Structure formats: structure tokens, C-alpha cells
């Protein structure tokens, strides 16, 4: 199988293909972030980097079986300014369309954030399919709702694995609790709260630690926008953290890898700040596995 991954990031799509046991002959990655490329190449030295998608000459590529990518979403996101296609980052969606139209792959997969219906309709018109909305909470310990446009058939909702935050914490981590929404950090007993978000404050008083959810007495994590200086990524793990009975702490990079269902041994030879950014901008690997497993593989290819 030949794969073209646009806006490849840290190659979460490649992890998914490997997890499924799908043979990849050539994996072409379009990415411009040097830190993302460093991480990808540390794990998959045979990745073929093709650079900036706006400069990609598709005629130089062989027959491509799968084009996938999550085009930058800042102009679409409800968390952003809702500039939509006027935002040059979101306009990169049309580069995805160009590559699909030029290469005519057997399959394509496009991911993006929750957005206004008018934007959804434009994307669906260009892709020729309606999206499926999947919350990563079904396969991981985070709430992360995304739309997926694909011509891979028979995609349904994943079965809920009931994975909670407690199950992905590092062994020496302190048991997390919910703070009283009004009570600050002095309260020792978790507030009884089910189904609705509870916002808790940062220790420094700047920005917010994420909304969290209590279910069966275990907390689920959620990515959340914050103004804390060390987490400036447009779609990153911004100041994601948990409340313990003594303090607020951020989730560790390893815990964030687990939220994205990235394997613990995945090499990330960059600073912790970059790790948070790359993971926040990446895919939940097991959601991608759930979608890609429905591909009708050619003779000679295999899937576990």
C-alpha cells in the first residue's frame, strides 16, 4: 500500500496502520514542522518527507492507495475566531481536495473539528461524502469530538471501552479528584457531579485547567484552551491537568500519549512543551484504527 499523509504531524496515521498490521510500501508525509518531522523520523526512518503541501507536485508520486490528513482547523473551531475558509490555515483544506482529485486514491480520510453546519456542508460537498462524528472518549480517556470524512465503507461508532482517566495515570500519580466549582483547592471531598462539566482554576490563577467529568467515580480528561504561557499551541494540550487533594498538576507527557492511544514506547525526542503541542495536534490513534480497519485490502496485504 502507498500512503500519502497530509499535515502528517507526528505520524499518528502511520501508527494506526502499523497497529492494524497493514503492509505499507511507501509512506509519503507532507509536513513543515521540524519537531513533528523529528519525531516521525525517529520512529519511522523510512518515511518519505515531501514538504509543504502547497508546493507538492502530485505528478511525481506513484499510485497512491490512501490519502489521509487532518487539515489545520483553527479557522473552523468553535474555540477559535470562526474565520472559516477566510483563514489561510483552514484554506489548506483545498490542498487536501486537490491531492485527492489529482491522485484518485482508492480511499481517503479527512479529519476536522466541530464547526458550523455551513462549513460542514462545504467540506462534505467537496469530499462527496457526509462525515461521521466520533468522540475519542469511546476508545480513550479523553473527550475529543471530531468529524471524519471518508469513502471507506460501513464506518459506525466504536464500541465504548469505558476507559477512564485513572487507568492511564502513571503508577506514582496521586489519585485525582473533582474540585468544588466554587470552592477552590481547599475542599478534600470530590463534588458529586455527573454528566456536566466542572471548571477548576489553575494554581497560578491564570487561565483554566480543563473541564472534567465524573463517571463511576473516575474522572475523564478533556483538552481545554488556556492562556498559560508554556502551552501556546493552537490546538495543543494547553495546561491540561488534574486536581488532587493537595494540588493541581498537569498530565505528564506519557499520560497525554495514553490519552491519544499512542504507544508508551513511541519515541518523542523533543522537549516536553513540544510533546504536548504535537500530541494535542495529533490524532487519537485507536479512532483512526477503527476507521482504517474497514479498508478492503489488496491481495498480498494483511491486517491483524
**CATH number of 66's domain:** 3.40.50.150
For residue 25, tell me if it sits in a domain: yes
**123 neighbors 149 (Cβ within 8 angstroms):** yes
Per-residue CA distances from 129 to 57, 150, 216 (Å): 25, 7, 37
Q: Is 88 domain-assigned? A: yes
> Is residue 230 domain-resident?
no
The whole-number pLDDT of residue 11 equals 98
Residue 183 lies in a domain: no
Is 73 a residue of the active site?
yes
Range picked from 50-64, 161-175, 210-224, 251-265 for highest mean pLDDT: 50-64
Q: What is the pLDDT of residue 250?
A: 64
Domains held by the chain: number: 1
- Return the pLDDT at 182: 28
DSSP string, 133-153: EEEGGGTSSEE-EEEEEE--S
Q: Say how many Å lie between the first and final Cα of the chain, rounded.
A: 15
Where is pLDDT greater, at 28 or 73? 28
Residue 88 lies in domain: 2-156+282-292
On whether residue 47 sits in a domain, the answer given is yes
3-state secondary structure (DSSP) of residue 119? helix
- Kindly state whether residue 36 falls inside one of the protein's structural domains: yes
Q: Are 228 and 204 in contact (CB under 8 A)?
A: yes
* Given the residues 12, 73, 256, 289, the one annotated as active site: 73
Cell of 294: 474497514
Q: Indicate whether 40 belongs to any domain.
A: yes
Q: What is the pLDDT of residue 114?
A: 84
- pLDDT band of residue 145 (cuts 50, 70, 90) is confident
Residue 30: which pLDDT band, with cuts at 50, 70 and 90?
A: very high
Decide if 222 is inside a domain: no
Encode burial over 139-152: b for 16+ CB neighbours within 10 A, e otherwise: bbbbbbebbbbbeb
Between 143 and 205, whose confidence is greater?
143
The reported pLDDT for the residue numbered 163 is 81
Amino acid at each position: 500500500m502507498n500512503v500519502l499523509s497530509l499535515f502528517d504531524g507526528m505520524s499518528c496515521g502511520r501508527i494506526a496502520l502499523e497497529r492494524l498490521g497493514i503492509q505499507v510500501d511507501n509512506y509519503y508525509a507532507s509536513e513543515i514542522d521540524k519537531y513533528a518531522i523529528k519525531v516521525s523520523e525517529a520512529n519511522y526512518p523510512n518515511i518519505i518527507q515531501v514538504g509543504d503541501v502547497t508546493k507538492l507536485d502530485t505528478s511525481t508520486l506513484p499510485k497512491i492507495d490512501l490519502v489521509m490528513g487532518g487539515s489545520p482547523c483553527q479557522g473552523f473551531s468553535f474555540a477559535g475566531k470562526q474565520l472559516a475558509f477566510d483563514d489561510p490555515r483552514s484554506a489548506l483544506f483545498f490542498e487536501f481536495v486537490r491531492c485527492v482529485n489529482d491522485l484518485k486514491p482508492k480511499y481517503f480520510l479527512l479529519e476536522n473539528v466541530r464547526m458550523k453546519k455551513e462549513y460542514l456542508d462545504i467540506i462534505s460537498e467537496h469530499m462527496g461524502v457526509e462525515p461521521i462524528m466520533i468522540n475519542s472518549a469511546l476508545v480513550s480517556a479523553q473527550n475529543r469530538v471530531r468529524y471524519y470524512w471518508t469513502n471507506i465503507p460501513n464506518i459506525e461508532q466504536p464500541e465504548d471501552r469505558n476507559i477512564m482517566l485513572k487507568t492511564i495515570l502513571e503508577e506514582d500519580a496521586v489519585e485525582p479528584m473533582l474540585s468544588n466549582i466554587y470552592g477552590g483547592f481547599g475542599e478534600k471531598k470530590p463534588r458529586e457531579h455527573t454528566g456536566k462539566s466542572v471548571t477548576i482554576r489553575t494554581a497560578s490563577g491564570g487561565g483554566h485547567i480543563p473541564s472534567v467529568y465524573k463517571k463511576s467515580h473516575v474522572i475523564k480528561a478533556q483538552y481545554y484552551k488556556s492562556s498559560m504561557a508554556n502551552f501556546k499551541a493552537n490546538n495543543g494540550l494547553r495546561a491540561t491537568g488534574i486536581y488532587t487533594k493537595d494540588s493541581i498538576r498537569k498530565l505528564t507527557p506519557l499520560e497525554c500519549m495514553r490519552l491519544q492511544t499512542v504507544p508508551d514506547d513511541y519515541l518523542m525526542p523533543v522537549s516536553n512543551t513540544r510533546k504536548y503541542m504535537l500530541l494535542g495536534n495529533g490524532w487519537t490513534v485507536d479512532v483512526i484504527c477503527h476507521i482504517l480497519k474497514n479498508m478492503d485490502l489488496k491481495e498480498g496485504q494483511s491486517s491483524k
